[in-house]
């Protein structure tokens, strides 16, 4: 990865709240945690060139990211999300921010609901995903969805503010992000799956996210520490990564052309066997996280107050 952590000066301002990261900030490898809002900002702050490199073709090839059942599972979980949201949303179009290949957008459209995605790195696979920034979008939407995209944005709070303006009264903001305050984040530290430097620019916990949504005039209706996905996988990835050779399980399950580094068949087998062995303990970890509301991801549905007459 071309992202050098030492070549650039440390970031000096919190990307979430704008607070100056001075002596009260907590320095961790690859990020600095703000004393005011608790959100950590990736440091050094990657350049546009470094991010372009980090999103190069291997990250999301048009043939799909994962081998075998992986992409099918991904499609089914997006489908389940669309089914659920279709029931709780008022009529009207849906906007998916960071829509990728448009899997979620297509799932909404199968319900007969208008849906559009935006993604500056759009693969072009879906005609309903536009390669533009969120800030270029206007109009009234029954939902704006950030499915694991908010943490990729340089100005996440400004993006939430713009999204809030796009949501009609009674409509919903949906946000799923990695939970930087989760048990697995603390346990696996610099090797945690969802740290994902330098693509993840902010590292958010639930309090900062929920209070921001409320400050925008939204009522938080649902918070889940499981629905955001990747909770069990985060544990598996973390345990496997601790073994000799530090196998990257996320890379192991990707297609050859979607892998950061080549892995020999023997090394892949080793990683997969380790994952199978780590499954029972990972299930326990997941259960503890869900029970203590500290899961590896945060999923929030927040509704804009309907107009009262
Ligand atoms: Zn802050």
pLDDT, tens digit, for every residue of 219-246?
999 999 988 888 999 999 999 999 999 9
pLDDT, tens digit, for every residue of 6-22?
567 889 999 999 999 99
pLDDT, tens digit, for every residue of 138-149?
999 999 999 999
Whole-number Å distance, alpha carbon 212 to ligand 1 midpoint, is 11
Whole-number Å distance, alpha carbon 38 to ligand 1 midpoint, is 6
Whole-number Å distance, alpha carbon 96 to ligand 1 midpoint, is 26
Whole-number Å distance, alpha carbon 152 to ligand 1 midpoint, is 16
pTM: 0.90
Whole-number Å distance, alpha carbon 308 to ligand 1 midpoint, is 34
pLDDT, tens digit, for every residue of 8-67?
788 999 999 999 999 999 999 999 999 999 999 999 999 988 888 888 755 655 556 655
Whole-number Å distance, alpha carbon 77 to ligand 1 midpoint, is 32
Whole-number Å distance, alpha carbon 208 to ligand 1 midpoint, is 9
For ion ligand 1, residues whose CB falls within 5 Å: 14, 16-17, 19, 34, 36-37
Q: How many residues does the chain have?
A: 309
* pLDDT band at residue 120 under the 50/70/90 scheme: confident
Whole-number Å distance, alpha carbon 44 to ligand 1 midpoint, is 16
Whole-number Å distance, alpha carbon 42 to ligand 1 midpoint, is 12
The percent of residues in the chain predicted with pLDDT above 90, rounded, is 73
């Amino acid at each position: 990865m071309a992202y050098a952590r030492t070549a650039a000066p440390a970031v000096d301002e919190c990307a979430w709240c704008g607070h100056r990261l001075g002596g009260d900030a907590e320095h961790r490898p690859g990020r600095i945690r703000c004393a005011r809002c608790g959100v950590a900002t990736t440091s050094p702050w990657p350049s546009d060139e470094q991010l372009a490199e980090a999103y190069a073709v291997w990250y999301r090839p048009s043939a799909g990211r994962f081998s075998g059942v992986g992409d099918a599972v991904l499609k089914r979980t997006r489908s389940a999300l669309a089914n659920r949201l279709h029931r709780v949303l008022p009529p009207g179009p849906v906007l998916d921010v960071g829509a990728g290949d448009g899997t979620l957008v297509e799932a909404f459209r199968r319900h007969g609901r208008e849906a559009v995605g935006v993604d500056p790195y759009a693969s072009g696979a879906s005609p309903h995903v536009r390669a533009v920034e969120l800030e270029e979008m206007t109009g009234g939407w029954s939902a704006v969805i950030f499915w694991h995209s908010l943490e990729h944005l340089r100005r996440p709070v400004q993006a939430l503010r713009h999204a809030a303006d796009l949501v009609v009264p009674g409509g919903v903001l949906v946000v799923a992000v990695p939970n930087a305050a989760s048990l697995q984040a603390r346990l696996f530290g610099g090797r945690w799956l969802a740290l994902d430097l330098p693509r993840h620019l902010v590292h958010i916990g639930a309090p900062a996210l929920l209070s921001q949504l409320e400050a925008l005039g939204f009522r938080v209706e649902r918070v889940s520490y499981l629905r955001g996905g990747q909770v069990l996988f985060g544990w598996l990835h973390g345990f496997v990564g601790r073994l000799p050779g530090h196998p990257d399980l996320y890379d192991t399950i990707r297609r050859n052309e979607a892998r950061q580094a080549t892995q020999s068949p023997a090394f892949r087998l080793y990683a997969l066997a380790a994952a199978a062995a780590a499954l029972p303990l990972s299930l326990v970890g997941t259960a503890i996280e869900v029970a203590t509301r500290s899961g590896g991801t945060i999923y929030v549905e927040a509704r804009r107050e309907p107009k009262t007459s």
